Amino acid sequence: MTKEENEKRLTYLKSIVSRLPEKPGSYQYYDENKTIIYVGKAKNLKSRVSSYFHAEVDRFKTKVLVSKIHDISYTVVNSEEDALLLENALIKKYNPRYNVLLKDGKTYPSICITNEFFPRIISTRNIEKKWGTYYGPYSHVGSMNAVLKLIREIYHPRTCKTPMTKEGVENGKYKVCLDYHLKKCLGPCMGKQSYEDYQKNILQAREILKGNTRQVLRDLKEEMLKLADALRFEEAEEIRQKYVALDGFVSSSEIVSHTINNVDVFSITSDEKMAYINYIHVSNGVINQSFTIEYKKKLEETDEELLQLGIIELRQRFKSDAKEIIVPEMVDIELENVTFTIPQRGDKKKLLDLSILNGKQYKFDRLKQAEKLNPEQKQTRLMKELQDKLHLPKLPYHIECFDNSNISGTDAVASCVVFKGMKPSKKDYKHFNIKTVEGPDDYASMKEVVHRRYTRLKDEEQPLPDLIIADGGKGQMEVIREVIQDELDLDIPIAGLAKDDRHRTNELLYGFPPIHVALKTDSELFHVLTHIQDEVHRFAIEFHRNKRSKRALHSELDNIKGIGPKTRDELLNALKTVKKIREAELTTLSDIIGPAKAKIVFEYFQPQDEK
């Protein structure tokens, strides 16, 4: 598009904006192919749409959207609530490119009461409104099964799939099944349970599924007392058993005061790309609905904007008519006869906290699910997190970490472990014998090893690491920096993992002078970094231990020229100690290893001048 064409486009769009009414409504943006690319809503159409064309708009994605707009249409409505409803409907209908994407990755099960002569109560993931009335969906299958079990225990609805009609029952067309003999069904198919009694049970089951359990309890208690007054004690006992079962279920599931009735709770958990909105509905103090939806962000939408969209979507989906909505922060929308509450304490605050917890858990589950399908995604996420924490120029795919090991300066060694993609690359591990340092000098040892390592990589033109981690604090970092930057003139970021007095890693350091980088000790990234630190420490200790073991096993016999390991072992097996070998006669040694080698050993320990 030429500059003149772009100016002509903007002039046309601004002329539309200038004619927009200052009323609530929904607006739609079209691209050059007359395709809707964005749908929005506004309290004031003129004010909202004109904000897109201000020169000071600084959001990159918004600028990209504006560059694609070639036409604008709008719809005026009576209220902001209507604008929200219209926006939601249009987004679902046209799925515009720049609107948030509602993702329903999982098909949650629901409970269905079928439209049959004797209705069945079943769980299903397929929603066909013509087959019955649906309650749910249930995001937690265990909760759904608990409700189904309760209903079947109290009301014994039929489970057979036999199509039943009134005429069939009257003509004795059906026979009772095993469930009847197991007392799991009352036999309505053969008239052993009346149609009226069956429908009465189904009606009470519907109320339980709606969450109106306290009303059902009141009805059962009233019926039980009437039957008792009429001296119909067996029937009263049956009702009492239902009452006890339902009351026990309500007591175990009630988490808030029963005075909280018909209330919606919403919360949002978001990151750069996704937003997760959790919905909880409370009826008579019992949570009878919990559900989470996710939106994929397109234009850096704020949490408030997404929460508004989620409230409308979920209230529509679950046909909620709650007059009170609990939210974590005030949203700039007005719904008819609805009050928004931001609780600070008490039962309502507990409900909000529970909603937030559910949203975070859903996000965690989705992340784990994605990483299980694509294991590399987790490594990439952790590398990106580390890059952001340290402001690294590129993703730290290749990380190297160093550590020293010695005991009072003896057998001094060092190790280098290599991690690639946040996983150990053991074939690239290196260990070093300290050659130029006398005594226990960790800084000098580190300087020697780092210089040897990267001089070789540089000379051989091998890939350099994206990040070096020192197993230590500021001192070790400075030593590495002197070698890398001052001596070898290399540009490799350097970090440090410092430990507290109890030898536990407690901080990540970066930069010169080093500064503390905030990192939660229970985060996955922290666990990976401590794993790197533990691994380099293990590798150094293992090498140092092996070196000490070899030295400890070294025998004076190994110093005798002409005597090999086999002869050494024969002597030690026969005489047990070097002292006994030293004191042995020539004839004794000859009997063990032969006269030639015996003479060499004998003359080593008994030189001629001494004799």
How is the chain split into domains, by residue range? 3-99, 110-211, 263-370, 391-550, 556-605
Measured CA to CA, the distance from residue 160 to residue 223 in angstroms comes to: 29
Alpha helices by DSSP H, listed for 465-584, are: 474-481, 524-553, 565-575, 578-583
pLDDT the model gives residue 348: 87
CA–chain centroid gap for 43, Å, is 36
Q: Which CATH class is domain 263-370?
A: alpha beta
Q: Which fold has domain 3-99?
A: GIY-YIG endonuclease (3.40.1440)
Whether 263-370 shares its CATH topology with 391-550 is answered: yes
What is each CA distance from 293 to 2, 81, 89, 324, in whole angstroms?
42, 20, 16, 20
Fold exhibited by the domain 391-550: Nucleotidyltransferase; domain 5 (3.30.420)
DSSP E strands in 191-285: the ranges are 263-270, 274-283
The pLDDT score that the predictor gives to residue 92 is 77
H or E stretch covering 405: strand 398-407
CA 542 vs. chain centroid, Å, equals: 35
Confidence (pLDDT) at 265: 93
Q: Give me the average pLDDT of each 10-residue run along the chain (611 residues).
A: 85 87 89 89 89 72 86 84 80 84 68 91 85 77 79 87 88 88 88 90 85 77 85 83 74 58 91 88 75 85 89 87 91 86 88 86 76 72 89 91 69 84 89 78 86 90 90 85 90 84 72 84 85 86 68 61 82 81 88 88 71 42
Strand residue runs (E) in 78-210? 101-103, 110-114, 121-124, 132-135
Tell me how far apart the alpha carbons of residues 522 and 541 are, in angstroms, rounded to a whole number. 26
Chain centre to alpha carbon of residue 462: 37
Task: Say which DSSP state 556 is in.
Answer: G
Fold of the 556-605 domain: DNA polymerase; domain 1 (1.10.150)
Paired strand residues for 295: 102, 275
User: What pLDDT score was predicted for residue 611?
Assistant: 42
- The burial class, CB within 10 Å (0-12 / 13-18 / 19+), for 466 is buried
CA-angle at 509, arms to 507 and 514, nearest 5°: 135
pLDDT at residue number 118: 92
What pLDDT is recorded for position 80?
79
**Residue 298 DSSP SS3:** coil
pLDDT at 113: 92
